């Protein structure tokens, strides 16, 4: 698993999470710019999943391969679920759902990187 790719996913997750807290503090809903950022984030997660599958299929396997792949696949579902939930909820706190989704993806990617550190060790 690429440390650069993991770093990008974690950084984008944290930046987007902070952005959603700022929106909450200003009593605003998600803007088109944020939604486009989340689409780019989702594409990055898809790339990460493909890289993970190709690397594992190539023979490099962490000790917890099933957990690693489950994390990579689950991350793809979290962001769309958070966006749809936030769009369906019209309250001021709806943007915090996106905070939770983005933060969860960042934490899951950090855990994936930790699991990956067992390869070859």
- pLDDT tens across 88-104, in order? 887 878 899 999 999 99
- pLDDT tens across 68-95, in order? 999 999 999 999 999 899 888 878 788 9
- pLDDT tens across 25-39, in order? 998 888 889 999 999
In terms of Cβ atoms closer than 10 Å to its own Cβ (0-12, 13-18, 19+), residue 50 is exposed
Side-chain half-sphere of 96: how many Cα atoms within 13 Å?
7
Residue 80 structure tokens: 């769309």
């Amino acid at each position: 698993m690429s440390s650069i790719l993991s770093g990008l996913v974690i950084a984008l997750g944290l930046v987007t999470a902070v952005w959603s807290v700022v929106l909450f503090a200003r009593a605003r809903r998600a803007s088109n710019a944020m939604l486009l950022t989340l689409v780019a984030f989702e594409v990055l997660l898809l790339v990460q999943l493909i890289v993970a599958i190709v690397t594992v299929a190539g023979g490099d396997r962490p000790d917890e391969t099933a957990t690693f792949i489950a994390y990579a696949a689950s991350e793809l579902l979290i962001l769309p679920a958070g966006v749809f939930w936030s769009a369906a909820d019209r309250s001021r706190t709806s943007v915090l759902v996106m905070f939770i989704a983005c933060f969860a993806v960042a934490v899951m990617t950090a855990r994936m990187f930790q699991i990956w550190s067992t390869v070859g060790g």
